[in-house]
């Protein structure tokens, strides 16, 4: 019998990181807000991957998960949101994105999470 505990753990982490991302942004820390946004996206993608029995240990695996989800759902927007999540991850290292860019990215990651959550029920 499969345990849903890892799935729930990833899902809860995604929501927690998303809340932290918006807090960091409100405090003016775009670098940390960006990384938390990336983390939230990655955790929800890992939740879906775990639910589907897909590998999700590496960044490369996470990108493959995005492609599999797009193929399964035919929602190309998910790929776009994955690219935005990656841009936020890059900003953690470069710290070059404006607060407006980061805010927009976080809003898109929230949409990604909202679109992925129903996949945990199927």
Which tens digits make up the pLDDT trace of 69-78? 999 999 999 9
Which tens digits make up the pLDDT trace of 30-73? 999 999 999 999 999 999 999 999 999 999 999 999 999 999 99
pLDDT value at position 94?
94
Task: Please state, in angstroms and rounded to a whole number, the distance separating the CA atoms of residues 114 and 40.
Answer: 12
Q: What is the pTM for the complete model shown?
A: 0.94
| Domain 5-120 of CATH type 1.10.8.100 | no
How would you class 46 by CB atoms within 10 Å of its CB: exposed for 0-12, middle for 13-18, buried for 19 or more? Answer: buried
């Amino acid at each position: 019998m499969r345990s849903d505990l890892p799935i729930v753990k990833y899902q809860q982490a995604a929501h927690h990181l998303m809340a932290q991302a918006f807090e960091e942004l409100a405090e003016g820390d775009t670098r940390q807000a960006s990384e938390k946004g990336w983390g939230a996206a990655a955790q929800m993608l890992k939740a879906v991957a775990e639910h589907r029995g897909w590998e999700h240990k590496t960044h490369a695996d996470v990108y493959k998960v995005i492609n599999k989800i797009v193929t399964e759902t035919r929602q190309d927007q998910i790929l776009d949101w994955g690219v935005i999540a990656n841009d936020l991850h890059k900003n953690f290292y470069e710290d070059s994105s404006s607060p407006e860019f980061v805010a927009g990215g976080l809003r898109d990651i929230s949409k990604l999470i909202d679109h992925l959550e129903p996949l945990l029920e199927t």
